[in-house]
């Protein structure tokens, strides 16, 4: 593993952060988990845009701005010397006093790590994954905006742990209304009679970069994707004009979960998985 901390590249075994970093003390920070293939980070721009969204939501200054963070991610990957890797860019609130007050932290800390990762074996990926429906719910949007990829991953950790204790590979997480939001660290797609369905971000899932790529591919291949907007109208995703319908001006894609409801099973098996 190679790690970049505060301007220095080092081996993972030597990487240290002070105990008073609010990222450690309070989960105060954001991150992006990115995949590199052939020495290039997949959709790096989209990851940086999501990091920037999270930073705005947390009133966190990104040191050096996005160009500096791009360079950090690319340099850390290059230092690993493996073109196919996982790159995690982390921005914490930085060092501060005990107590949650972010004002005691004058300088956010940038950390980047690059390593190999294999969440599921090739065999599992081919055979499919066993899922349970977790008793842990995704936080409501007014508790923690699900589009912010923050350092608070406890509900994901608890859901995964619940799945493992029950002999499953992963867990479906529902939102407070009982609608499926996503899997512990992945978005979910269902193919129902040739139509692609995926929960809208308004149901509590992360606005996944892979999800965005899948929806784009579906559109370009004219694969029907049922979506519905906030007013309940139904559209075909690949014909839907892109709409600017949220605070930060991002286009959103919603599927008609209310109309074509996928019921959360106690246990199920998913055919494939994009995570490695
Ligand atoms: C909660 C959650 N949902 C979905 C995803 C998939 O997002 P992406 O495709 O941007 O990696 C992740 C990735 O880490 C995640 O943590």
Question: How confident is the model over 39-49, as pLDDT tens digits?
Answer: 999 999 999 99
With pLDDT > 90 as the criterion, what percentage of the chain qualifies? 66
Structure tokens at 93: 């609130």
Whether the CB-CB separation of 146 and 203 falls below 8 Å is answered with no
Residue 97's contacts (CB-CB under 8 Å, 6 or more residues apart) are 20, 104
Distance CA 38, CA 112 (A): 19
Q: Does position 127 have pLDDT exceeding 50, yes or no?
A: yes
pLDDT band at 126 (very low <50, low <70, confident <90, very high): confident
**Nearest to residue 105, comparing CAs of 218, 200, 26, 190?**
26
Alpha carbon of 150 to ligand 1 centroid (Å): 11
Q: Does position 175 have pLDDT exceeding 80, yes or no?
A: yes
90: which strand partners? Answer: 31, 111
Alpha carbon of 187 to ligand 1 centroid (Å): 6
Q: Own/partner pairs for 187-192, CB < 8 Å, 24+ apart?
A: 187/211, 188/270, 189/214, 190/262, 192/260, 192/262
Q: Does position 82 have pLDDT exceeding 70, yes or no?
A: yes
Distance CA 272, CA 58 (A): 34
Alpha carbon of 181 to ligand 1 centroid (Å): 12
Distance CA 86, CA 71 (A): 16
Tens-place pLDDT, residues 224-235: 986 533 334 343
- The whole-number average pLDDT for the span 2-19 is 96
Q: Which of 50, 148, 185 to mutate to test the pocket of ligand 1 (most atoms within 8 A of CB)?
A: 185
Q: Does position 252 have pLDDT exceeding 60, yes or no?
A: no
Q: What pTM was computed for the model?
A: 0.85
Residue 201's contacts (CB-CB under 8 Å, 6 or more residues apart) are 146, 147, 207, 252, 254
236: which strand partners? Answer: 226
Residue 7's contacts (CB-CB under 8 Å, 6 or more residues apart) are none
Average pLDDT of the residues of the chain: 85
| Ligand 1 atom nearest 146 alpha carbon | 1
Determine whether the shortest distance from the Cβ of 182 to ligand 1 is under 6 A. Answer: yes
Q: Which of 33, 51, 154, 181 to mutate to test the pocket of ligand 1 (most atoms within 8 A of CB)?
A: 33
Query: In the chain, what are the domains?
Result: 2-115 (3.30.470.10), 123-270 (3.20.10.10)
């Amino acid at each position: 593993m190679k790690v970049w901390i505060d301007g220095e590249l080092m081996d993972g075994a030597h990487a240290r952060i002070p105990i008073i970093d609010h990222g450690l003390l309070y989960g105060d920070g954001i991150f992006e988990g990115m995949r590199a293939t052939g020495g290039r980070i997949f959709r790096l721009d989209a990851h940086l845009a999501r990091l920037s969204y999270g930073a705005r939501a947390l009133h966190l200054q990104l040191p050096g701005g996005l160009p500096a963070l791009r360079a950090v991610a690319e340099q850390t990957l290059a230092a690993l010397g493996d073109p196919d890797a996982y790159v995690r860019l982390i921005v914490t609130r930085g060092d501060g006093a005990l107590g949650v007050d972010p004002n005691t932290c004058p300088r956010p800390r940038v950390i980047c790590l690059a390593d190999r990762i294999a969440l599921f074996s090739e065999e599992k990926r081919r055979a499919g994954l066993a899922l349970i429906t977790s008793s842990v719910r995704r936080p409501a949007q007014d508790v923690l905006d699900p589009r912010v990829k923050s350092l608070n991953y406890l509900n994901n950790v608890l859901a995964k742990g619940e799945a493992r204790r029950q002999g499953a590979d992963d867990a479906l997480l529902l939102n407070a209304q009982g609608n499926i939001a996503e899997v512990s660290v992945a978005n979910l797609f269902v193919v129902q009679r040739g139509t692609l369905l995926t929960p809208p971000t308004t149901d509590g899932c992360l606005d996944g970069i892979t999800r965005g790529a899948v929806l784009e591919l579906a559109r370009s291949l004219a694969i029907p994707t049922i979506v519905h907007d906030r007013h309940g109208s139904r559209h075909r995703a690949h014909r839907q004009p892109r709409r600017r319908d949220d605070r930060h001006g991002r286009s959103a894609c919603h599927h008609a979960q209310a109309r074509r409801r996928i019921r959360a099973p106690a246990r199920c098996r998913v055919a494939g998985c994009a995570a490695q």
